[in-house]
Structure 1
Amino acid sequence: MASRFPEGNQVQLRPRKGHDMKWSCDKHGEPIKFYCKKHKIPICHPCATKDHSQKPCELDDIEDVIFERRRQLDEKRPKVQELQKQLDALNTKIKTVSTSGSTHLRTINNNIQDSYHDKIDSVGEKENRMIRVINEEADEEIRLVNEKREKRIKDCNIERENERQIIKDKEAKLLADAKKISEVVSKKIKDLANKNQHVINTVKNIESTIKRINQHDKTLVNEAPQVLASIDENLSLIVHQDVSDCLDRIQNEVERMKFAEGGVGGEYYGRIDGYIGKWELVKSIHIPSVVNEPCVRGLVSDDEICVQDVDNNDMYITNINTQHTEKVIDGGVWITSCAPIDSNVIVCGKRRGECTGDRLDGCITLYDRQRKVIRDISIPRNGDGKSVYVDVDRDGMIIAGQFNQSNIYIINPADDKIVNTITTQGKKVWDGIQALSSGDIVVETGIGEYTVISRSGEEKAVIHGNKWYGPQCRVDKLTDTLYITYRDAFRNPIAVDQVSRDGIIQARRIVEYVKSDRSPLISLCLVTPSGNLVGCDRDKLHLYKKTFIL
């Protein structure tokens, strides 16, 4: 009596559909019946009897092998088809991001063109107004004044044309920068599209191979192992998520870009910014050996750096374009800071030791572009601190603060009057003062601590870093980005961190350079209105420019 199978474990019998009767053994001409697992070949009955009857040969029924190979291929097909759907969706996303990026960059181009076209129109209006004034004056004396008028008109036209050309050159440079960025984005997206298309083609080839070998049992048995291995290998190499992540990063980088513009020191500046980018060293300018202990004090223009010899207090100006250094002020006064008010006037903060009474005299001085003293500005004296730090805000007003005091004065350089007094809440001026384009002020209120305060004295943010040793701060006047120069307590090179006005560190050590033994002091890294960084290692000034990368 036959035994019964346990409940729930009944064997499911599959119907035998037979196999390709034309498939026969090349040696015996007999139909293929078995598959030798040791030698991995299909065989007929005589082969099994004569050549494969001894162990370790293990034989399987050929129909079982065919059935198992088909089952394995069928199990892989849903994965291949699902991946194909994902890649089709990814291809759609590539097109969407490419279109979005192009649209955003076109918007930036349009903003640049609109802004500079307005500037050119403004120059034309200025020319027309001046010509009208000249003509009115010329009517007074016909012959002599006509000669004078023609000369002045010619000079005026030349000057205005020069202004136009400067504006056009700046516009052309920005449009070239925008084009270069657009090319970087387009190339990256194209590379990703090619990569994705290669994967799509690979998947299509796999699907085509599966269909082909399924048509004949012989082909299926002989080629299925290699096809299965190829499928597993290709599927393991295909990682479409990294393409998607890269597209998201491209879109984020493009959308964070902006056209930054504004006035600094009486001059208009505009550039593409907002991205982190990569800072590249453009050139290094040697500081003459006659400057014993050089220390950077600030900018007097976009390409002129104020360098003081702290050994004797001599003041020098280095032009980063011509790389020429010129002595402009003999020693005697310690300069704490300087900034341009307009194209003709520079303001300097100073430290003096002979101040008495209730006024600080000689701690703020106006100079013309020939470095001749125009006049001193006096502010109230509080306490014994005799150092005054200055900067110029977006409205051309002087911002001044005395060391170890809580009052910050807003001074009109036209008449030297204090138009506003800001009192910090619970904090005092420790070192430098920097004006933000928003109207707020960044004040160093302690060693390595910078406080952002409003015009009412309200504390808006406190910025500090536990890795900053001997830090110096400078603000980008167009973007309000802070650049902190410091020496890491555990590393010798001088480094610069990029920080937002809210105190968020956006990028660490964007530039690094080794301080020389020429001076023990750490010199600050300046930010030019055009967006470049100028670092000082005490032997050389290093000019860095930012480039867009993906």
Structure 2
Amino acid sequence: MAARFPKGNQVQLRPRKGHDMTWSCDKHGGPIAFYCKKHGLFVCDRCAIKEHCQKPCELDDIEDVIFERRKKLDEKRPEIQELQKQMKALDLKIKTALAFSDTNLQTVNNNIQASYHDKIKSVEEKEDRMIRVINEEADEEIRLVNEKREKRIKDCNTEREKERKIIKDKEAKLLSDAKKITEIVSKKIKDLINTSQHVINTITNIELTITRINQDDEILVNEAPQVLASIDENLSLNVHQDVTDCLHQIENAIQGVKFVEGEVGGEYYGRIDGYIGKWELFKSIHIPLVVNDLEVRYFVSEDEICVQDVDNYNMYITNIYTQHTEKVTDGGEWITSCAPLDSNVIVCGKERWDCTGDRLDGCITLYDRQWKVIRDISISRIGYNKALYVDVDSDGMIIAGQSYQSNIYVINPANDKIVNTITMQGKTVWGVIQALSSGDIVVNTGNNTYTVISRSGEAKAVIHCDEWGSSRCRVDKLTDTLYIAYRDKERNTYAVDQVSSDGIIQARRIVEYVQIDSTDFISPCLVTPFGNLVGCDGDKIHLYKKTFTLEIIKNLNTVCRHRP
């Protein structure tokens, strides 16, 4: 409502600037001439005189208000245009990343299919050769030989189909794993595309809004503050940087995905690995009460692991699929380490107290799969210690090291001869030695210290962490990744860290389980050829598998809730 102009007060009205305005006062019908800062109202001359002539009212010429607000909107145009340019470029990068992801993961699929295609073909060629030989033998026989031939052919075909099914099942699993990774990555990429497109649409809408309100002064004055606030809000979100950071995280994760394959203990294995994933417990196995103080030693096949009773030195084999545990050796000798030499033979390193003279007799023993002794390998003894640690390298050679000595011997199991002696420079064997696929050797060379030794004896990397209390190290034979199990006394748990062979700690506490027993003895965390982890808490054996994940740090969901 307009108020009367109080007596004794006068309003100095500024002359109009000749602007032809169609905007008029709803009350008096006259053109809008002023803007009252106190009341936030646009008024004509009569309103100004009657209702807004006294302090604290302060009147600005409407032309100045229009000019000032149009100027502020125009000043924002370069920022909007630059952001629009950046977001369009980012949208192109995201689409390029999607194409790269599809190409890289398709390469993984192709590698898997090519590898298993060759193996299936090799099996078929092998069986075809056997069938040809059988046919040649059968042609020289009469009816009974022919019957025998047909039976053997049938057996060969059955065996071929069995092997083929095993290979195809493994291939199908790997392709399924690759598909899951592709789906995870595609979903994240699509989320980024949606976010980026939303910002582009928002900017476009702001541009259209500015163009629209500039066509009508009344709309301009009324809506400009809201539009300006929306512009400032969207500019402050820094979506471009957030999307870029997420894109880099996704690209780094994709680059780590690879198909790894190789032989372990004479058996072929392949899997998708190379990434830092999430480890999940999928099975726990209770060991029979006859095993008093449990320690896992090593895997001897894809489904069997060695378990030793620390109290009486009895050795057991636990099948991680059937969960059956069977005693295979009686106590009397401490087995320090063991590894599959091939599909039929297992090599064990031991500590024996009955060794005399200058030979370590019975400290390296070859067993068959029924744990019957095949033979012992004897090497020279240096010093007083009688413990030997062994492993099998990628060439099928036995590597062996005597405790507290600097020499590592490479032994040919075909004739038990030492073919090479590696002398470590300034290091001695404190515990297990393990061969890497690269040819290097990981040696426990001190308290919670592991050294990567070249074949010339040079220390290539020293791996140590003060937090590793009473630690044990095991190597993934396909990736050369180290898994170091240690005890956290404060939390009363066992934890496992993942470390690269060049000494970089890649992930801390990838798995953690409660310490059951009260001893200071810690069991190592084994790595199966399929990439699963096998931990032991003193009472149960825990099996973990790794899954591919994309943990995106930035949260872009808030962007989609803002509208211009």
Q: State the TM bucket, normalised to the shorter chain.
A: over 0.9
Letter in 1 for 2:541: L
Q: What pairs with 1:99-138 in structure 2 (closer than 5 Å)? A: 99-138=99-138
Q: Find the counterpart in structure 1 of residue 22 from structure 2.
A: 22
Q: Find the counterpart in structure 1 of residue 211 from structure 2.
A: 211
Q: What pairs with 1:123-162 in structure 2 (closer than 5 Å)? A: 123-138=123-138, 141-162=141-162
Letter in 2 for 1:542: H
Q: 1:16 to 1:157 in 2, by over 3 A?
A: farther
State the distance in 1 between where 2:265 and 2:163 align: 17
TM-aligned CA deviation for residue 463 of structure 1: 1.5
Q: Find the counterpart in structure 2 of residue 510 from structure 1.
A: 510
TM-aligned CA deviation for residue 309 of structure 1: 0.7
TM-aligned CA deviation for residue 341 of structure 1: 1.2
State the distance in 2 between where 1:50 and 1:378 align: 116
TM-aligned CA deviation for residue 20 of structure 1: 4.4
State the distance in 1 between where 2:460 and 2:179 align: 38
Decide whether the 8 Å contact of 2:261 with 2:268 is kept in 1: yes
Q: Find the counterpart in structure 1 of residue 554 from structure 2.
A: none
State the distance in 2 between where 1:263 and 1:93 align: 40
Gaps of 5+ in 2: 1-14, 551-564
TM-aligned CA deviation for residue 207 of structure 1: 1.1
Letter in 1 for 2:499: V
TM-aligned CA deviation for residue 140 of structure 1: 5.5
Decide whether the 8 Å contact of 1:293 with 1:518 is kept in 2: no
State the distance in 2 between where 1:187 and 1:141 align: 65
State the distance in 2 between where 1:428 and 1:140 align: 64
Decide whether the 8 Å contact of 1:284 with 1:541 is kept in 2: yes
TM-aligned CA deviation for residue 110 of structure 1: 1.0
Q: What pairs with 1:148-297 in structure 2 (closer than 5 Å)? A: 148-297=148-297
Q: Find the counterpart in structure 2 of residue 3 from structure 1.
A: none
Tell me whether 148-157 or 167-176 shows the greater mean CA deviation: 148-157
Residue deviations 1:114-145 (CA, integer Å, cap 9, x gap): 11111111111211232233344445543443
Q: What pairs with 1:97-496 in structure 2 (closer than 5 Å)? A: 97-138=97-138, 141-488=141-488, 491-496=491-496
Gaps of 5+ in 1: 1-14
SS at 2:239's partner residue? coil
Q: What pairs with 1:33-52 in structure 2 (closer than 5 Å)? A: 33-52=33-52
Q: 1:82 to 1:261 in 2, by over 3 A?
A: same
Residue deviations 1:282-313 (CA, integer Å, cap 9, x gap): 12112222211001111111221111111111
State the distance in 1 between where 2:331 and 2:140 align: 51
State the distance in 2 between where 1:254 and 1:200 align: 26
Residue deviations 1:300-354 (CA, integer Å, cap 9, x gap): 1122111111111111111111122222222222111111111111111111100
Residue deviations 1:465-484 (CA, integer Å, cap 9, x gap): 12211111111111111111
State the distance in 2 between where 1:375 and 1:160 align: 34
TM-aligned CA deviation for residue 489 of structure 1: 6.1
Q: Find the counterpart in structure 2 of residue 6 from structure 1.
A: none
State the distance in 2 between where 1:41 and 1:18 align: 22
Tell me whether 406-415 or 117-126 shows the greater mean CA deviation: 406-415
TM-aligned CA deviation for residue 215 of structure 1: 0.7
SS at 1:240's partner residue? helix
TM-aligned CA deviation for residue 54 of structure 1: 1.8
TM-aligned CA deviation for residue 491 of structure 1: 4.3
TM-aligned CA deviation for residue 98 of structure 1: 0.8
Q: How many residues align?
A: 536
Residue deviations 1:406-427 (CA, integer Å, cap 9, x gap): 2222222233222222222222
CA RMSD of aligned residues (A): 1.7
Letter in 1 for 2:217: D
SS at 2:185's partner residue? helix
State the distance in 2 between where 1:290 and 1:489 align: 27
State the distance in 1 between where 2:196 and 2:238 align: 9
State the distance in 2 between where 1:246 and 1:212 align: 35
TM-aligned CA deviation for residue 233 of structure 1: 2.0
Letter in 2 for 1:372: K
State the distance in 1 between where 2:132 and 2:386 align: 51
State the distance in 1 between where 2:138 and 2:420 align: 44
